Structure 1
Amino acid sequence: MTKAIWKGVIVAESDNCEIVEGNSYFPPDSIKSEYFISSDTHTTCGWKGVASYYTLKVNGEENKDAAWYYPNPKEKALNIKGYVAFWRGVKIEN
């Protein structure tokens, strides 16, 4: 089971992550939505498309744009459509 952990709290866990460019992408139904706040931030990847972001909020602390996903990826990245990846201090454990 792969887990995403921030501030000692598991914010996502799954046995069905997709690994892309060294990042674990968690299926949408594996995230614990109570810790996720939609962000207005967007970035663009040349082959995956436009990414959207979430800010994590755990025990009153926020980690801005610590998670990202591709709601409408390009064809080569359809396997991660809606899947969520992490950075900015979120620990991934297998």
Structure 2
Amino acid sequence: MKAVLTDGTVVAEAPKDDLISIEGNWYFPPASVDATLLEESPTQYHCPWKGDTQYFSVKAGDDLLQDRAWSYPAPIPTSFERVGEDYTGYVAFWKDVQVVE
């Protein structure tokens, strides 16, 4: 599967079996993400069952798409049971980044 910007730039790519689906979002393994296209964001969010989120803005040419990706760098350990596996550092995407097969 791929996470793709509207201009065709691939932000992440991995076999579907390597991705994790959580609440309708596909999470890509850290090694499958082009980190040169991500910029850490100061935006903070705390999920009551997953923990603290690290948001990223996605570079799209000369534009910076604010908070279009996120990760859980240190998830709450009990969430692994609910998800079914460890998703530490996996990255999911939002608006302007389409996940396709």
Which residue of 74, 77, 93 maps to 1:86? 93
TM superposition score normalised by structure 2: 0.87
Percentage identity across paired residues of the two chains: 38
For each residue in 1:49-89, what CA deviation from the matched residue of structure 2 results, as whole angstroms up to 9, or x when unmatched? 01011100121111101000000000114611100000022
Partner of 2:3: 4
The two structures, once aligned, show a CA RMSD in angstroms of: 1.1
**In the TM superposition, what are the counterparts of 1:37-76 in structure 2 within 5 Å?**
37-75=39-77, 76=79
Which SS does the other structure have where 2:86 is aligned? helix
Question: Which structure is higher in strand share?
Answer: 1
TM superposition score normalised by structure 1: 0.93
For each residue in 1:13-66, what CA deviation from the matched residue of structure 2 results, as whole angstroms up to 9, or x when unmatched? 111111111110000000011111111111011110010111001211111010
Regions of 4+ moved over 6 Å: none
Task: Write the letter of the residue equivalent to 1:41.
Answer: T
**What is the distance in 2 between the residues matched to 1:57 and 1:90?**
11
Bigger CA radius of gyration: 2
Partner of 1:22: 24
